[in-house]
Amino acid sequence: MASIKKFTELIAWQKSHRLVLDVYKATEVFPRSEVFGLQSQIRRAVVSVTSNIAEGFERGSNKELIQFLIMARASLSETQNQLLIAKDLGYLNKKDFDELADKTVEVHKIINGLIKSLRTSKLTTSKLNNGVI
């Protein structure tokens, strides 16, 4: 298996990054009154997912990577909650909401899998960098 040298090579980061781009696009249509409200909240939460994955990867220790993945997962749950609010307020149509919700579930599963792999097989970030996963 090829070595993972950068956080951008992690599937969890790649899928999360795509989610960020999709959330930004979907929230462009929010009412102007939400620019500093829900639109901003959703965007900050979803960006936090990728930021935590990146920071955790660069910390260099298994314990810290897991800690940051847990924070990424929490930010993802925050994003899911805010997307639901946006749908209920009529800011997101059902199709856009369903697509984003499905992507958040996928990212959640990937992050959970990475956490489990790191915990159960005693992987370290150095083993990640050497292509173990």
Cβ density class 103-112: b for 16+ within 10 Å, e for less: bbeebbebbe
Give residue 10's pLDDT: 94
Q: Give the predicted TM-score (pTM) of the model.
A: 0.88
In CATH terms, 7-128 corresponds, of 3.30.413.10, 1.20.1440.60, 2.160.10.10, 3.40.350.10, to 1.20.1440.60
Per-residue pLDDT tens over the stretch 80-128: 999 999 999 999 999 999 999 999 999 999 999 999 998 887 555 555 6
CA 70/CA 38 separation, integer angstroms:
23
Q: How many CA atoms lie within 13 A of 8 on its CB side?
A: 0
In the chain, what are the domain boundaries?
Answer: 7-128
Per-residue pLDDT tens over the stretch 37-75: 999 999 999 999 999 999 999 997 888 999 999 999 999
The DSSP secondary-structure symbol of 90 reads: T
Report residue 14: phi and psi, to 5°: -60, -45
Per-residue pLDDT tens over the stretch 14-37: 999 999 999 999 999 999 999 899
The radius of gyration of the chain's CA atoms, rounded to the nearest angstrom, is: 16
Give residue 3's pLDDT: 72
Give residue 122's pLDDT: 57
